[in-house]
Amino acid sequence: MRQTMMQRVGRPAIVLALAAACRGTKAGAAPPQTDAPLAITYPSHIAAGGAAPHGATLTNPYAGDTAAVTAGAALFTAMNCDGCHGAGATGWVGPSLADGRWRYGGTAGEIFSSIYYGRRQGMPAFGGIMPAAGIWKVVTYLQSLEPPNDVPTESWK
Amino acid sequence: MSAVRSEKQFLWNRQSPRADGMALFAQWSDDRTVSFEANMMKVHLTSVAVGAACVTAVALAAVAFTPGAIAGPRITVAAASDDGEWTMPGKDYASTRYSGLSQITPANAAHLHPVWSFSTGVLGGHEGQPLVVHNTMYVVTPYPNTLYAFDLAQPDYPLEWKYRPAVSPNAVGVACCDAVNRGAFYADGKIVYNLLDGHTVAVDANTGKQLWETTIADVSNGETTPMAPFVVKNRVLVGASGGEFGIRGWVKGLDLQTGRVVWTGYNIGADSELLAKPGQFKPFYDHASNLGAATWPKNAWQTGGAPVWGWMSYDSTLDLVYYGTGNPAPYNPEQRAGDNKWTTSVMARRPEDGTLVWAYQFTPHDSWDFDATAEMVLADLRIAGTMRKVLVHFDKNGFAYTLDRTSGQVLVAQPFVQENWAKRIDLETGRPVVDSSKLTGASRGNVKNICPTLEGGKSPASPVAYSPRTHLFYVSTSNMCMDYQAVPAAHIRGTPYIGANSPYYAGAGGYMGAFVAWDASVGRKVWEIKERWPVWSGVVATAGDVVFYGTLDGWLRAADARTGKILWSFKVGSGVVGNPITYRGPDGKQYLAVYAGIGGDWFLLAGDVRSDDPADVRPPADFAKDLARHTSQGGIVWIFAL
């Protein structure tokens, strides 16, 4: 089971820390946000006041599907993802996607968003040319990768 | 390490337009440029050694300030003939990187020591070189492409100004191999350089104010712009990278005064778009028309690469600009049957209107990513008893070429590193005699043991130097081989268009690099210094018969130009992929300047990647496991003196 840094720190700890830092603010007492457009949740982000905004939590329809892992790996090459992220997604000009760590969040929904919308620093938005099913298969492939054994310590001894 | 010495290094007068004491003015003059003026008239200073780390001298100024005459603005006239300055990337239009300064000699080079350093705060590969014009040093960083102007006429070299352009971060991910910048060009009071995201800017060399900005390239189409512009007369010549994104390579000629694009000459496609005009385009070996399109499958040239990201040279007598073109796209050659002209070629154009006069292709139907973007050094050499106007080029493919630069005829072509993809270069046809067992392609599977690698027998980003005193070329080389597995690639606009995996390993002998002295008259190695890792820095040669280069593990070295003996080494804190320069300071002394800051493909291969990002951790390449044990990322500008 991979862990992101935020997952290791844990959301409750962040909530407590923020609650302590923002005296006078009641954690969890956010107003309803029914007037805001629904957006994707980013559970690794810090929530002001300890109250996470309303948002959609995307569910990977292929979670645990080994055939989707294989299909996602093929798409990773066919869509030229490996040209930036390297063979096996171990990193090249683009960051490693196989180290168990994520710039923009490592939940299935966060990874889906990164591929669908693109990211700054040149990550193209693939949502205009890939159907959602294909993006989910790539997500399934990336979440199946095991981090290399020299994360976090690289030793020359 | 040599100790920092305590001596009076600065004692001179400097006149300033303002005369109100030691006040330091920092004012926002616009949204990009911060201007500094320190006003002092007579400066006496001593250096103080700091710490065991022996980093640099900290100047303690005892200032005797004399209000007085108010001078006019700093004079910023180009003085390329003045060996005290360094106004363009290659030192001169011939790209010799040779300086006539001679204070540093084999007898005293061991006394070199650092006198100043400056962190750029940028982690990308610090390729390129500073400029020194009228006692100001200009430094361009990798993305975000900040331009610094340091006042060499004051102690501690404070900033006169810095210019911070708005560069799109998208370019960082589209640049194939790190967000590098190869430097600026000084002309007509302007510092001209490229931003990574497809813009050329001209900045007033005196004030730091932007004079013009021109969009030259399209990042969303795979184009980025790390090369240094090249200014000839009233034209600014620029090109774009993107051989890994299937761009269609070009060179543009901009008006120096306004930045307006005057002409665009493509490297591939129909003759008319190459600016190859009937009766004026006369390649030495190829006589058919429209070869830039006819040597490709239908329309494949439209995404065929031929980027321009290296260096340019100019012969004012012949009125020709020379530059090299990069690889054909994609890397899988079976998708582009034919010679793929004019990829991996040298092009000779008229600077005024871009007219193509001749071209020569080093690696027809390149199967190995052998870009020909390395510098073209112009020299007059005696070849077989006759003085010839030649162009010398050390290609990624491992051969050193000596060409007649009036015609493009190959006079000498010999391997300068271990290579096995070609048996020789046929001087009758100008074509390599290829070992067919080393041809790559998706149907050929994993082709083993090809030398050199696609990093090149020499990196095009690491220019050589030529000394007219020794008549030798000084070359940073790589001794590596590769396996090459091509696969079919689909062109999707805005994504990489590659189609090959190509792991490297050390070539025969086990060392991965060497610093070489080369006789281009006959094509012969004179001496070499073996290095553990590929040598990836540029070179400067001097009239003191000392040459300077740096190593990937962060050593700056001085070597005897005649014997190859290492005279001095200093660990500069990060691997050297930039190009050392030398200049005369306001005090009359010879200085040496260089960037530290490993990068280019080496930040990708060393495993020490994105050292500012804990969300990106990866192992080093198998062949370079130890490199990150000896160096890490981070840019530093260094200045040394005796």
Per-residue pLDDT of chain A (157 residues; tens, 9 = 90+): 333 333 333 333 333 333 333 333 344 445 555 676 778 889 889 999 999 998 889 999 999 999 999 999 999 999 999 999 999 999 999 999 999 999 999 999 999 999 999 999 999 999 999 999 999 999 999 999 998 887 888 888 8
Residue B13's pLDDT is what?
27
3-state secondary structure of B636: strand
Based on DSSP, count helices (H) and strands (E) in chain A, helices before strands. Answer: 6, 0
Sequence-ordered list of residues with C-beta below 8 angstroms from that of B530, at least 6 positions apart, any chain: B509, B511, B513, B514
Residue keyed to tokens 């009036």: B406
B169 and A151 within 8 Å at the Cβ level: the answer is no
B492 contacts in chain A (CB < 8 Å): 79-80, 129
pLDDT less than 70: residues of chain B: 1-82, 608-610
d(CA B309, CA B592): 26
Residue B620's pLDDT is what?
85
Short-list B253, B254, B430, CA closest to B358: B430
Q: How far is CA B265 from the centre of its chain?
A: 22
Cβ–Cβ under 8 Å, residues B176 and B51? no
Cβ–Cβ under 8 Å, residues B545 and B98? no
Residue B249's pLDDT is what?
98
Residue B33's pLDDT is what?
52
Q: What share of chain B is helix, strand, coil (3-state, %, to 5)?
A: 5, 35, 55
From B369, B371, B560, B608, the catalytic residue: B369
Residue B209's pLDDT is what?
98
Residue B529's pLDDT is what?
98
| β-pair type (B500-501, B513-519) | unpaired
A152 contacts in chain B (CB < 8 Å): 617
Local structure of residue B561 (DSSP, 8 states): T
Residue B83's pLDDT is what?
86
B497 and A83 within 8 Å at the Cβ level: the answer is yes
B611 in contact with A, Cβ within 8 Å: no
B174 and A92 within 8 Å at the Cβ level: the answer is no
Taking the alpha carbons at both ends of chain B, their separation in whole angstroms is 13
Minimum Cα–Cα distance from B615: chain A residue: A101
Residue A34's pLDDT is what?
63
Global pTM reads 0.87
B 171-210 residues with CB below 8 A of A?
171-178
- Is the ipTM beyond the 0.95 threshold? no
Residue B609's pLDDT is what?
60
Q: Name the burial class of residue A49, with classes exposed (0-12), middle (13-18) and buried (19+) by CB atoms within 10 angstroms of its CB.
A: middle
Residue B230's pLDDT is what?
98
Nearest to B616 among A77, A96, A150 (CB): A96
The residue among B221, B611, B616 with the most chain A CBs within 10 A of its CB, best to mutate, is: B616
Cβ–Cβ under 8 Å, residues B414 and B524? yes
Short-list B496, B543, B438, CA closest to B177: B496
How many Cβ atoms sit within 10 Å of the Cβ of residue B204? 17
Distance from CA of A117 to the nearest CA of B (A): 13
- Residue ranges of E strands in B509-621: 513-519, 524-531, 540-542, 546-550, 555-560, 566-571, 581-584, 590-596
Q: Does residue B327 carry a catalytic annotation?
A: yes
The residue among A93, A107, A145 with the most chain B CBs within 10 A of its CB, best to mutate, is: A93
Nearest to A99 among B178, B618, B626 (CB): B618
Residue B53's pLDDT is what?
31
B 137-176 residues with CB below 8 A of A?
169-176
Could you give the angle at which helices A132-144 and A66-78 cross, rounded to 10 degrees? 110
d(CA B500, CA B258): 42
Sequence-ordered list of residues with C-beta below 8 angstroms from that of B209, at least 6 positions apart, any chain: B29, B30, B33, B203
Distance from CA of A105 to the nearest CA of B (A): 10
Residue B50's pLDDT is what?
31
Q: Does residue B369 carry a catalytic annotation?
A: yes
B629 in contact with A, Cβ within 8 Å: yes
3-state secondary structure of B180: coil
